[in-house]
Amino acid sequence: MTGNDKLTTKNRRSDRSSDRRIWLLIAAIALVATLFVPFSQFVLQVEYDYTLRTVALGGSLLGIVSGVLGCFAVLRRQSLLGDALSHAALPGVAIAFLLAGRDLGLLLIGAGVTSWLGVYFIRLVTGTTRIKQDAAMGIVLAAWFAAGIALLVYIQARPDASQAGLDTFIFGQAAAIVEGDVRLIAAVGAVAFIVLGLFWKEFKLITFDPEFAGANGFRVNLLSLLLSTLIVAAIVLGLQLAGVILMVGMLIASGIAARQWTNQLGQMVILSAVFGAFAGGVGAIVSAVDADVPTGPLIVVVAFLLVAVSLGFAPGRGLVWTLLRQRSDRRLFAAQTMLQDLYHYALDHGRADLPAPEPFLVGVRGATAREGLRQLQARGHAQRSNGAWMLTPAGIEAAARDDRNHLLWSVYRQYGDDLALPVVGEDRQQDIADVLPPAAVAKLEYKLDTIRNAAASSAQQQPQTGAVTDH
Amino acid sequence: MFFVEEVVIQLLLNFVAREELNAFLRDPQHTATIVGSLIAVSGALLGTFLLLRGMSLTSDAISHTVLLGIVVAFILMGSVFGQHPDLSSVWLIVGAAAAGVATVLLTELIYRSGLVKQDAALGLAFPLLFAIAVILVSRVVSDVHLDEDAVMVGEIGVAWANTNSHCLSGCESVTITPDDPRAELTRQCTNCRDLGISPRDDKAEFTEICTNCGQYSPAQAWQAGFTEQEPALVFWPKSITVMAVMTLLTLLAIVLFYKELKLSTFDPTLAAALGFRPTLLHYGLMVLVSLVAVGAFDAVGSILVVAFFIIPPAAAYLLTDRLPRMLVYSSLIGAAGAYTGYDLARGNLLGIANLSDILAGLNDLFGLGLSESWDSSISASMVLMTFFFFLVAWTFSPKYGLVSTMLRRRNQRRSFDHQVVLGHIHHHQGSASASEELAASTLYRHFRWTPAKMQRTLRQLRARNLVQIEANLVSLTERGETHAHQFRETQLTNESVGE
Amino acid sequence: MSVRSGKAPHDDWAAALEIDDLTVAYNSRPAIWDIDLRVPEGVLMAVIGPNGAGKSTLIKAALKLIPRAAGTVRFYGQPYEQVRGLVGYVPQRGSVDWDFPTTALDVVSMGLYGRLGWIRRPGQGDRESAMHALQQVGMQDFADRQISQLSGGQQQRTFLARALVQDARIYLMDEPFAAVDAVTERAIITILRELRARGKTVVVVHHDLQTAPEYFDWVTLLNVEIVASGPIAATFTPDNLRQTYGGRVAYLHEGQRIAGLEDE
């Protein structure tokens, strides 16, 4: 059981180190964000007046809201639904403007209503026809957006159209955000987070395993509707900043980036909020440098940079990490293979420290041989002399241990049941003593010796009987 | 391209007079409808394959990122050749096609990392490329053709005005040199401004300049009075040529590779095993989608074009089960959408209703004070009409429509209910629990049906002479017995052996 | 989790699961047809039948995860809604996204959500019972592993632990033996026998005819309709199997010999 305890503590430790990693990462982002302020002041010549502070605050808040809820869109594989729904919000904005003028709250309610009709339409089409989800989303995206454009063009013919600024909803414009908007974002975001906190357990369950949730008596449809509503709210809030076309990027990018750093939903959501705040804030500030550049694209570019860094460098999961691990695996296996090759070659020819000619080793194993021998030499397990390789005493010991471990594993596989040993997964890379309790290992060793003795005595008898028949 | 237009014009002039042709093309509606229909047909043909491959949203991604290809090509052309190309330039088209393929590659790259799901990969890739394009547009390009409105809605309404002029006769172009007797020469002071003196001053130096020298196209030459005969010109909208070429390319590709496309859509593994290179076909399809998207960019913008790829094939999918018909139907639906969409932009919905009247009605009812003249985006209206036809197909399709499905379901449910009851009686008839299981008054409980439903079903079954009720005990008639048997033979055993 | 004492209409023996006249249809084609089934308390029952016979459908319909066309299902004489806490469910492993960001321990504690009800969060005690369930399936070392880093068999054991933590009286399991390694298969069968020893009832969708007689003591042969149901010795006969599987029964003889059925 010592082996088990050891493993458990190792796991626990790695878990805690991943917790620490998250906090380090958050601290690093906070640092970059703090450094960004003087950078933007002196290099980009941004002036931190009241307007910009409002805009930056609004951008960060929106980043938080969409980052948190975007996690669920990503995990439910509804990333592109986010795209369809943000396009579907446009006619709602236009109709609300036609009916009530430019009041942000009402515009957003209008946007939410038509987005919702979009969700309903997608469900209806996929439920009653053989049209698949993706095509149904495409239909909503295109048709609702066309309706929005038709209405916007109609509105633009009005005398008060120019001040309406409705086209900011298409690409997003940070400058359009005023203090009242920030309050609205904060209020809606707070409500969304309270709901999310209350139903955290339920949302997690229906996202992971809706069938099991249903079997446990949770109202899966209702919960799923509620969660979709929250996502629609995040989309609708973000429209003014990111615009309908690029909202999907703002919604999902920070969640995807966060997913790379952690394996726990809670941490993923927190990290995604931090990423979102960073992308939203930085994007909004940079876009204030030049009024011609809409905000949405900048936020998306910043968010994508975060994604790229995360995909590349996230510990354990990132591409760079994977490449490194593959290389070290290759080295490890090469070393192990060559250790065994040298050992058996030498034993077959008499004694364990007999040198094996290098051309022979390379001829059999190719590149693996060169790599493996280099590794063995570095570890002091083998040395080269006169174009041949021989094991050092340390190497012989390691090879014998490894060999015996392999043999014990195969004895375990063959006789584990008969000896009533505990059932564990077979893994020859692990020392069997780390996996099985000492008593079990002792049984295996005894069995191995019995088999060996039997084999040896029958090998002794074999030539004799052969000799007899020969005569 | 110019040559192709020439050939087509010569061909057309066999049937119509030049003036008629010009008048026809100068009508915004005609050009818009032709361009719109061409976009719709090529989009519908390609979209059919996309829909069947479950890749509809890839067209959404590509149509967005085509903008990046256009912008980059535009900037490169500007810095390399010192001039900005026309939107129908071959280089822009190449750039756009490259951007389309780049989108697909980027998506697959992200997805292949194994860290991101497929939908999320697409959702990451195209906003990024589109975002870069928009930033470039706003920072670098100040040309009117690439402003944000053009990205959104296109300019199909003024497509008629952007023309190549083709001269048929009297095509004398004139070059006036200073030696020409028609040249108008005048003297100009070369140093007056520098010295701040008047031309009458003694120190003034003069040079002779020509005010009307240069090249005159036939039309200009005639207007300037250099030529005797008025040239016969045809003004041919460039968009028609561009989209016609794209449509022909699409048609050609689909006709040539019909078999391969069909197979690789249905069963990519088999296609690969037979050596048809499904990956190559995949990228070929993506290139075609990019080409159509860039061709349509000028007319309908970057986003609405996706409607022409997705909506007509979806409607056709509800109308037929066969690929050739689906291709034809979706083309027709797309073209019909484009044709009727022009009228909708002016407020006329299929001649049935007028939006201006509806707006007036709304104003009367609610006092909204809306502007009562509906005049809106042509491209968006074309999409809306296409969507309208989708709704019609969805509702009334004989096979998959809502109405027919509802009717069929009702019939099926009724006959299924009959079978359930027959099966139950058959099962329990003559068994020990028969009196409990088959009591007519409580039979409904075993099915969790309402008593009314059970009564209705039993009535129908008795009417069909399949069951009888004696002393509150339901039993099968002889006919009912055969019926239940037959059902078991066909429905139940087939199902298990078939799989 | 009090069970309201209700009277069961058929009281020959106490039925853990009682299904009457259950029919489920997809698009008006019957997936299962007029099923009458009684599972006595304390048995380890396999549901066996060919592909498309409606085995999973039967379980899902019993749990009301899919709509029924007709029929009733009772657990311990009660409709499912009133005795949810007594019923544990192990879905097919392929039904969820294993890349979901969560740990094995967390998945197991999801088994407690139903008992916790709405809004309440699992506490320390709940985590401990989840850990205990993981221990039972030999997975305690993997508690903090991300679930995608588990092997297929370990994922299946995690699912099993999630059902164990529910501490139900009857367990419905959908193909727990599908595509698992030998270690997992042995671990699962050990758990199943333990459950039976503690008087629990277990219903398992199973597809391996070879192992069925060894693992189970009760069997239901299903092919859209019930072919036979009862103690395995009396029910798992060549005749019944032929009826269930049709003409494809030839290869079964091998399995029956191994299972020692020809002695009977």
**Opening angle at CA A215, ends A214 and A220, nearest 5:** 5
- Among C34, C56, C57, the strongest candidate for a mutation testing the B interface, having the largest count of B CBs within 10 A, is C34
Q: Residue A118, CB half-sphere, CA atoms under 13 Å: how many?
A: 34
In the structure, what pLDDT confidence band is assigned to residue C247 with cuts at 50, 70 and 90? low
- Average pLDDT in chain C: 80
- Decide if pLDDT at B387 tops 90: yes
Question: pLDDT value at position B77?
Answer: 77
Closest CA to B69 of B89, B44, B45, B51: B89
> What is the distance of C-alpha A285 from the center of its chain?
29
* Out of A130-139, A154-163, B98-107, C138-147, least confident range: A154-163
Are the C-beta atoms of residues B431 and B383 closer than 8 Å to each other? no
Q: Are residues A235 and A289 in the same domain?
A: yes
Nearest by CB to B420, from C23, C51, C224: name it.
C23
Among A391, A413, A436, the domain boundary falls at A391
For the record, the structure tokens of A158 come out as 């009005």
Closest CA to A337 of A299, A295, A367, A315: A367
Rounded mean pLDDT, B232-253: 82
Burial bucket for residue C29 (CB in 10 Å: 0-12, 13-18, 19+)? middle
How far apart CA B166 and CA A340 sit, in angstroms, is 83
- Decide if pLDDT at A43 tops 80: no
For the record, the structure tokens of B69 come out as 């290809």
Q: Is A77 in Cβ contact with C143 (below 8 Å)? A: no
Helix (H) or strand (E) holding B476, with range, is: strand B473-476
Among A315, A338, A368, the domain boundary falls at A315
Distance from CA of C94 to the nearest CA of A (A): 10
Q: Is B304 in Cβ contact with A142 (below 8 Å)? A: yes
Rounded mean pLDDT, B388-395: 90
Closest CA to C103 of C131, C135, C137: C131
Please give the residue that has the higher pLDDT: either B104 or A38: B104
Q: Which chain B residues are within 8 Å of A78, Cβ to Cβ?
A: 119
- Decide if pLDDT at A161 tops 70: no
Nearest by CB to C21, from B416, B446, B496: name it.
B446
Q: Which amino acid is at B133?
A: A
How far apart CA A121 and CA B387 sit, in angstroms, is 13
Q: Which amino acid is at B120?
A: A
Question: pLDDT value at position A190?
Answer: 92
Are the C-beta atoms of residues A394 and A381 closer than 8 Å to each other? yes
Give me the residues paired with residue A382 across strands. A391
State percent of chain A over pLDDT 70: 90
Question: pLDDT value at position A194?
Answer: 92
Question: pLDDT value at position A120?
Answer: 86
How far apart CA C204 and CA C171 sit, in angstroms, is 8
Does a structural domain hold residue A29? no
Q: Which chain A residues are within 8 Å of C187, Cβ to Cβ?
A: 423
Q: Are residues A275 and A289 in the same domain?
A: yes
Spatial neighbors of B19 by CB under 8 A, at least 6 apart, are: none
Residue C250 DSSP one-character state: G
Residue indicated by tokens 């009605």: B361
- Decide if pLDDT at C82 tops 90: no
Q: Which chain C residues are within 8 Å of B436, Cβ to Cβ?
A: 9
Other C-beta atoms closer than 10 Å to the C-beta of A152 total: 25
Closest CA to B48 of B312, B410, B271, B347: B312
Question: pLDDT value at position A467?
Answer: 40
How far apart CA B181 and CA C189 sit, in angstroms, is 110
Which residue in C has a C-alpha nearest to residue B453's C-alpha?
C70
How far apart CA B56 and CA A131 sit, in angstroms, is 11
* Out of A137-146, A435-444, B315-324, least confident range: A435-444
For the record, the structure tokens of A116 come out as 């919702």
Does a structural domain hold residue A13? no
Q: Are residues A337 and A365 in the same domain?
A: yes
Rounded mean pLDDT, C110-119: 78
Rounded mean pLDDT, C194-213: 88
A:354-413 residues touching chain B, CB 8 A cutoff: none
Q: Is C119 in Cβ contact with A199 (below 8 Å)? A: yes
Are the C-beta atoms of residues B127 and A127 closer than 8 Å to each other? no
Is the Cα torsion angle B199, B200, B201, B205 positive or negative in sign?
A: positive
Query: Is C224 an interface residue toward B (CB < 8 Å)?
Result: yes
Q: Are residues A120 and A252 in the same domain?
A: yes
Please give the residue that has the higher pLDDT: either A92 or C71: A92
Distance from CA of A191 to the nearest CA of C (A): 16
Distance from CA of A267 to the nearest CA of C (A): 9
Question: pLDDT value at position C253?
Answer: 47
Burial bucket for residue C71 (CB in 10 Å: 0-12, 13-18, 19+)? buried
Residue B492 DSSP one-character state: I
Nearest by CB to B427, from C27, C34, C68: name it.
C34
Closest CA to A373 of A338, A398, A340, A329: A338
Q: Where does residue C38 fall: left (phi above 0), alpha (psi -120 to 50 degrees), or beta otherwise? A: beta
Nearest by CB to C65, from A15, A215, A268: name it.
A215
Question: pLDDT value at position A160?
Answer: 60
Q: Are residues A301 and A448 in the same domain?
A: no
* Out of A67-71, B217-221, C175-179, least confident range: B217-221
Q: Is A319 in Cβ contact with B148 (below 8 Å)? A: no
Q: Are residues A238 and A364 in the same domain?
A: no
Q: Are residues A135 and A187 in the same domain?
A: yes
Question: pLDDT value at position C254?
Answer: 46
Q: Are residues A378 and A415 in the same domain?
A: no
Which residue in B has a C-alpha nearest to residue A79's C-alpha?
B120
Does a structural domain hold residue A469? no
Question: pLDDT value at position A191?
Answer: 92
* Out of A9-13, A134-138, B236-240, least confident range: A9-13
- Decide if pLDDT at A6 tops 50: no
Does a structural domain hold residue A129? yes
Q: Are residues A372 and A409 in the same domain?
A: no
Long-range contact list for A124-128, CB < 8 A, 24+ apart? A125/B394, A128/B394, A128/B402, A128/B405
Does a structural domain hold residue A227? yes
Q: Can you give the residue range of the structural domain that contains A359?
A: 322-391
- Decide if pLDDT at B289 tops 70: yes
A:352-371 residues touching chain C, CB 8 A cutoff: none
How far apart CA C134 and CA B160 sit, in angstroms, is 73
Residue indicated by tokens 């103690």: C231
Q: Which chain C residues are within 8 Å of B449, Cβ to Cβ?
A: 70
Q: Are residues A195 and A304 in the same domain?
A: yes
How far apart CA B46 and CA B39 sit, in angstroms, is 11
Q: Is the ipTM of this complex over 0.95?
A: no
Give me the residues paired with residue B233 across strands. B167
- Average pLDDT in chain B: 78
Rounded mean pLDDT, A99-123: 84
How far apart CA B447 and CA B437 sit, in angstroms, is 11
How far apart CA B339 and CA A331 sit, in angstroms, is 67
Q: Is A249 in Cβ contact with B131 (below 8 Å)? A: yes
Q: Are residues A308 and A437 in the same domain?
A: no
A:163-182 residues touching chain B, CB 8 A cutoff: 167, 170-171
In the structure, what pLDDT confidence band is assigned to residue B85 with cuts at 50, 70 and 90? low
Q: Which chain B residues are within 8 Å of C225, Cβ to Cβ?
A: 492
Domain C15-263 top-level CATH class: alpha beta
In the structure, what pLDDT confidence band is assigned to residue B147 with cuts at 50, 70 and 90? low
In the structure, what pLDDT confidence band is assigned to residue B330 with cuts at 50, 70 and 90? very high
Question: pLDDT value at position C220?
Answer: 92
- Average pLDDT in chain A: 80
Question: pLDDT value at position A348?
Answer: 79
Nearest by CB to B492, from C25, C69, C225: name it.
C225
Parse chain C into domains and list their residue ranges: 15-263
How far apart CA A322 and CA A356 sit, in angstroms, is 34
Distance from CA of C123 to the nearest CA of A (A): 12
Q: Is B447 in Cβ contact with C70 (below 8 Å)? A: yes
- Decide if pLDDT at B312 tops 90: yes
Tell me, what CATH number does A123's domain have?
Answer: 1.10.3470.10
Question: pLDDT value at position B13?
Answer: 74
Rounded mean pLDDT, C107-128: 81
How far apart CA A278 and CA A301 sit, in angstroms, is 12
A228-267: pLDDT as tens digits: 888 888 888 888 888 888 888 888 899 999 888 888 888 8
Q: Is B119 in Cβ contact with A77 (below 8 Å)? A: yes
In the structure, what pLDDT confidence band is assigned to residue B169 with cuts at 50, 70 and 90? low
DSSP string across B50-75: HHHTT-HHHHHHHHHHHHHHHHHHHH
In the structure, what pLDDT confidence band is assigned to residue B210 with cuts at 50, 70 and 90? confident
- Most confident residue range from A166-180, A184-198, C5-19: A184-198
How far apart CA A183 and CA A198 sit, in angstroms, is 23
Q: Residue A275, CB half-sphere, CA atoms under 13 Å: how many?
A: 38
State percent of chain B over pLDDT 70: 87
Rounded mean pLDDT, C54-65: 88
- Decide if pLDDT at A86 tops 90: no
Q: Are residues A127 and A238 in the same domain?
A: yes
How far apart CA B100 and CA B92 sit, in angstroms, is 12
Question: pLDDT value at position B494?
Answer: 43
Among A293, A315, A337, the domain boundary falls at A315
Those chains having 3 or more beta-carbon pairs within 8 angstroms of chain A are B, C
* Out of A35-49, A65-79, A358-372, least confident range: A35-49
* Out of A21-30, A72-81, B35-44, B271-280, least confident range: B271-280
Domains and their CATH numbers in chain B: 2-156+237-314 (no CATH), 167-233 (no CATH), 403-498 (1.10.10.10)
For chain A, the domain total comes to 3
- Buried b vs exposed e over A283-297: b needs ≥16 C-beta within 10 Å? bbbbbbeeeebbbbb
Question: pLDDT value at position A68?
Answer: 93
Provide the pairing of β-strand A388-391 with A382-385: antiparallel
